[in-house]
């Protein structure tokens, strides 16, 4: 009998395993795939992290916790996972990004610089300022090494006594007042608590809750450049653009495959991530190339790498983090809506607190299941 079973050990689940292990709980992490795999939502080298949160200012306390936990993981492992390259935002002064960044900065006393176009071009040559756009810069932002974070969290957790089993698919679970039973394609496990962190497979494991989750196929593109301005080693930042009717973002060349760029908006809805296509989509590729030509003109059209990854979207694009309404022994995080990785360290701790203490030390009420407009 385990204290906690974590179902799905990707971004959030690996962090939950570590948080449980740090509390001294006997924890089992189960996954269909090995740590750091490329079938779900947590692969492709890097994920942006920033405190200035245009999506909703209430996420900032979760981000403050997440930053502390990422720093702690680096210290435990003696390895860098968080690269503080800074993030530069470009967009209309009254657009979603700039307004939201400034609001979260004001509410939470965050340091965000305002740059005029001339200053921006001086500091970040090669990043074109769209006509009439404003520019903001957050220096404490940057990116996380996504697969390395997951592997490190699982490694640290197992060092502290956690068990990790991959190669097993969870078929079903059941719960009563005091315990849960999890059945995989090969085994049956019992625990006092279950934490469900199944990413784009969450809907099938939480079917009775009818959370309206949509899975969306997203593309990541890497392009070569011989310009120093786009290199992390020369101060190249992560970037966000609200432009061309969408949101585009990317990462400086870290010395591997080049500048990484993607569109956050849009995407094709799919039903089954396991059998989904992994090829590029012409419309997406065209929009990325157009974006690069217009705004990062020193990046070449020579694409060096392409990956497909999945967003799990809620209708309001905010996460769902809660206890199961019928089973207090079960809690879950779902619908991270394409912006969840930076939070995974804090969500792991929050879920552990929900499982072991029944309430979390950080307020996640705005992410509860029965919030207005979700179901
Ligand atoms: C292209 C792309 C770019 C993104 N960019 C950013 C970004 O810049 N910043 C940011 O913060 N976030 C970003 N995100 C979002 C972020 O990566 C995700 O929100 C986060 O990684 C999701 O973590 P997860 O733990 O929910 O899912 P996953 O990491 O996919 O983990 C779910 C795990 O559950 C396992 N599982 C599911 N069902 C079962 C079962 N029945 N049996 C056994 N195992 C099971 C899966 O195998 C998987 O390992 C991006 C996402 C994508 C796709």
Which residue's CA is minimally distant from atom 27 of ligand 1?
A: 199
Which residue's CA is minimally distant from atom 7 of ligand 1?
A: 47
- Where a domain ends, among 268, 287, 313? 313
Measured distance CA(375)–CA(370) in Å, rounded: 7
Residue ranges in the chain modelled with pLDDT below 50: none
184 and 296 belong to one structural domain: no
pLDDT at 375: 78
Ligand 1: centre distance to CA 12 (Å): 8
Is 303 among the domain residues? Answer: yes
Measured distance CA(360)–CA(245) in Å, rounded: 38
HSE on the CB side for 279, CA within 13 Å? 4
DSSP code string of 107-155: HHT---EEE-HHHHHHHSTTSPPPTT-EEEEETT-EEEEHHHHHHHHHH
pLDDT at 24: 98
Which residue's CA is minimally distant from atom 35 of ligand 1?
A: 8
218 and 303 belong to one structural domain: yes
321 and 255 belong to one structural domain: no
SS (H, E, C) 249-301: EEECECCCCCEEEEECCCCEEECCHHHCCCCCCHHHHHHHHHHHHHHCCCCCC
257 and 187 belong to one structural domain: no
127 and 273 belong to one structural domain: yes
pLDDT at 190: 98
Residue 329 sits in a domain of what CATH number?
3.50.50.60
Measured distance CA(16)–CA(159) in Å, rounded: 15
- Name the DSSP letter for residue 25: -
Q: CB neighbours of 254 closer than 8 A, spacing ≥ 6?
A: 45, 46, 83, 232
Q: In total, how many domains does the chain have?
A: 2
Is 81 among the domain residues? Answer: no
230 and 124 belong to one structural domain: yes
Taking the CA of residue 37 as reference, the ligand 1 atom at the shortest distance is 49
Measured distance CA(320)–CA(297) in Å, rounded: 39
Ligand 1: centre distance to CA 71 (Å): 21
220 and 360 belong to one structural domain: no
Measured distance CA(71)–CA(298) in Å, rounded: 33
Is 261 among the domain residues? Answer: yes
Q: CB neighbours of 193 closer than 8 A, spacing ≥ 6?
A: 3, 4, 5, 180, 329, 330, 331, 355, 356
Q: Which domain holds residue 339?
A: 2-45+147-209+316-367
Pocket perturbation via mutation, ligand 1, pick of 34, 340, 344, 345 by most ligand atoms within 8 A of CB: 340
Ligand 1: centre distance to CA 105 (Å): 27
Measured distance CA(69)–CA(221) in Å, rounded: 29
Contact (Cβ atoms closer than 8 angstroms) between residue 346 and residue 354: no
Residue 224 sits in a domain of what CATH number?
3.30.9.10
96 and 178 belong to one structural domain: no
Is 187 among the domain residues? Answer: yes
170 and 123 belong to one structural domain: no
Is 267 among the domain residues? Answer: yes
Measured distance CA(222)–CA(69) in Å, rounded: 29
133 and 171 belong to one structural domain: no
Q: Which residues line ligand 1 (CB under 6 A)?
A: 8-13, 30-33, 40-42, 44, 47-48, 169-170, 197-199, 201, 218, 220, 262, 309-311, 336, 338-342
Taking the CA of residue 337 as reference, the ligand 1 atom at the shortest distance is 19
Give the phi and the psi of residue 82 in degrees, each rounded to 5: -110, 120
Taking the CA of residue 309 as reference, the ligand 1 atom at the shortest distance is 53
Number of C-beta neighbours around residue 297 at 10 A? 12
Is 191 among the domain residues? Answer: yes
Displacement of CA 9 from its chain's centroid (Å): 14
SS3 170: strand
User: Per residue in 10-56, pLDDT tens?
Assistant: 999 999 999 999 999 999 999 999 999 999 999 999 999 999 999 99
Which residue's CA is minimally distant from atom 50 of ligand 1?
A: 338
Measured distance CA(139)–CA(86) in Å, rounded: 4
Pocket perturbation via mutation, ligand 1, pick of 39, 40, 48, 185 by most ligand atoms within 8 A of CB: 40
340 and 194 belong to one structural domain: yes
- Where a domain ends, among 297, 313, 329? 313
339 and 244 belong to one structural domain: no
Measured distance CA(162)–CA(158) in Å, rounded: 4
- Where a domain ends, among 313, 330, 358? 313
Is 75 among the domain residues? Answer: no
pLDDT at 277: 83
Ligand 1: centre distance to CA 117 (Å): 36
139, two tokens: 């220096």
Taking the CA of residue 218 as reference, the ligand 1 atom at the shortest distance is 1
Contact (Cβ atoms closer than 8 angstroms) between residue 336 and residue 312: yes
Ligand 1: centre distance to CA 30 (Å): 15
Is 372 among the domain residues? Answer: no
């Amino acid at each position: 009998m385990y204290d906690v079973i974590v179902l799905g050990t990707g971004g959030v689940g690996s962090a939950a395993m570590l948080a449980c292990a740090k509390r001294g709980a006997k924890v089992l992490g189960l996954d269909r795939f090995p740590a750091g795999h490329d079938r779900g939502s947590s692969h492709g080298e890097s994920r942006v992290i920033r405190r200035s949160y245009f999506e909703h200012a209430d996420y900032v306390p979760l981000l403050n916790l997440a930053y502390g936990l990422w720093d702690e993981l680096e210290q435990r492992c003696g390895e860098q996972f968080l690269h503080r390259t800074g993030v530069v935002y470009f967009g209309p002064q009254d657009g979603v990004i700039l307004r939201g960044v400034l609001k979260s900065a004001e509410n939470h006393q965050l340091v965000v610089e305002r740059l005029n176009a001339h200053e921006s071009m001086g500091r970040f040559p090669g990043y074109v300022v769209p006509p009439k756009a404003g520019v903001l810069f957050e220096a404490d932002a940057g990116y996380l090494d996504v697969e390395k974070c997951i592997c490190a969290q699982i490694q640290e957790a197992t060092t502290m006594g956690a068990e990790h089993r991959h190669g097993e698919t969870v078929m079903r679970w059941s719960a009563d007042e005091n315990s849960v039973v999890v059945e995989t394609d090969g085994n049956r496990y019992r625990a006092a608590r279950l934490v469900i962190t199944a990413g784009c497979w969450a809907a099938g494991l939480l079917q009775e809750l009818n959370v309206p989750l949509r899975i969306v196929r997203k593309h990541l593109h890497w392009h070569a450049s011989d310009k120093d301005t786009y290199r992390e080693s020369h101060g190249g930042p992560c970037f966000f653009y609200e432009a061309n009717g969408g949101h585009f973002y990317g990462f400086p060349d870290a010395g591997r495959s080049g500048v990484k760029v993607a569109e956050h908006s849009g995407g094709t809805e799919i039903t089954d991530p396991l059998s989904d296509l992994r090829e590029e989509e012409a419309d997406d590729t065209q929009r990325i190339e157009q974006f690069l030509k217009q705004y990062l003109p020193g990046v070449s059209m020579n694409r060096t790498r392409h990956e497909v990854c999945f967003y799990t979207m809620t209708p309001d694009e905010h996460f769902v983090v809660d206890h199961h309404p019928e089973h207090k022994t079960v809690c879950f995080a779902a619908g991270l809506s394409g912006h969840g990785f930076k939070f995974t360290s804090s969500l792991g701790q929050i879920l552990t607190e929900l499982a072991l203490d029944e309430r979390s030390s950080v307020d996640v009420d705005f992410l509860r299941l029965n919030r207005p407009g979700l179901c």
